[in-house]
Amino acid sequence: MGARAGDELKLAQLLFPDLVRNVQAALDANGDGAGQATAAEATLAHAVQQLKSSSLGHAGFDAFEVPGHHSGTGAAVADAFDEVRRIMTWIGGSVPEPEAFLAAGVDASKLAIALSSDADLAIVPAPHGIGASGWRSLYRGAARQPGSPLSLAEPLVLAEEIAQSFATLDDVPDDVPTVASGESSGGTSGEVRWTLRLIPAGATPAVLGLSHLHGPHVTIAEMLMLQLMRMTRGADPLDARSFTWLNGVLSDGRFAARHVFDAGERNVRVTSREVGNQGPHLGARPPVG
């Protein structure tokens, strides 16, 4: 079964748990040949696809409206998902449906209220676990798009210490809800964990001149995806004149990662800096969610 059908089956298990259990029980009782199981999975996947194409299919995004108001935040979240879906096709990946994030514990009302009250916040579905190679592939895909601000030669530059510690830096904070995806993408295999949070998306960090000790901080996956989302819609890259601290530390806690867009070289760079550094152009983008 293809990756897309597999996603539909996962969503079917969330939306129709009783039906899925009944189908599985019937297959177990009658001896489920491979053909029967595949046909049942295909039927469930098709049912979900039909639901998503109907008006009911917007229910997941409707949950991101401010309670009691038609704020338009649900549409903004839907647009963000569409952007990330297009981006992930560059490495053959896909994005979990909004219902999966709700089931994982994402507080849609909290995000909607914050999103409607702060124009600088952006909703960012972000994959953790595609590895440095996956992100390099995504940035090469972005560089190939018409009008891209990225260089084709090297659109994403990871300092040696960042590349070596990428798996550690790519970890998700313990208190953040995640949706697991076992698909392989970007040349990596194993579990990919998706987060859905709001990230301050001003031209420079929301808080400047503070050390890494003053968090919380955006994850490396969230920051890299936020840049890609902006670039695909033709918006200016962030951090052209500033640096953003990223979550996590390396070298026994002495250094942390920072993100910048190098306009001269036309690439996004992730390098490291001492955690106590308080440069006037270095700051934090505290996530919400």
Residue 135 and residue 243 share a domain: yes
At position 186, the amino acid (one-letter code) is: G
In this model, does residue 66 exceed pLDDT 90? no
Task: Specify if 254 maps to a domain.
Answer: yes
The 10s digit of each residue's pLDDT in 244-260 is: 999 999 999 999 999 99
Residue 135 and residue 30 share a domain: no
Query: Model's pTM, two decimal places?
Result: 0.80
- Name the phi and psi angles at 142, rounded to 5: -65, -40
Residue 169 and residue 39 share a domain: no
Task: Specify if 115 maps to a domain.
Answer: no
Tell me which residue of 229, 223, 231, 4 sits closest to 95, measured CA to CA. 4
The 10s digit of each residue's pLDDT in 55-64 is: 444 568 889 9
Task: Specify if 84 maps to a domain.
Answer: no
Domain count, the chain: 2
Least reliable range by pLDDT among 27-41, 149-163, 177-191: 27-41
Residue 141 and residue 274 share a domain: yes
Tell me which residue of 289, 265, 285, 147 sits closest to 216, measured CA to CA. 285
Task: Specify if 71 maps to a domain.
Answer: no
Residue 124 and residue 49 share a domain: no
Task: Specify if 101 maps to a domain.
Answer: no
Residue 156 and residue 28 share a domain: no
Residue 130 and residue 9 share a domain: no
Task: Specify if 60 maps to a domain.
Answer: no
Q: How far apart are CA 183 and CA 7, in angstroms?
A: 9
Burial of residue 10 (number of CB atoms within 10 Å: 0-12, 13-18, 19+): buried
- Name the phi and psi angles at 87, rounded to 5: -60, -45
Task: Specify if 231 maps to a domain.
Answer: yes
Residue 167 has a CB neighbour count (10 Å cut-off) of 11
Task: Specify if 96 maps to a domain.
Answer: no
Q: Are 212 and 245 in contact (CB under 8 A)?
A: yes
Domain of 275 in residue numbering reads as 120-284
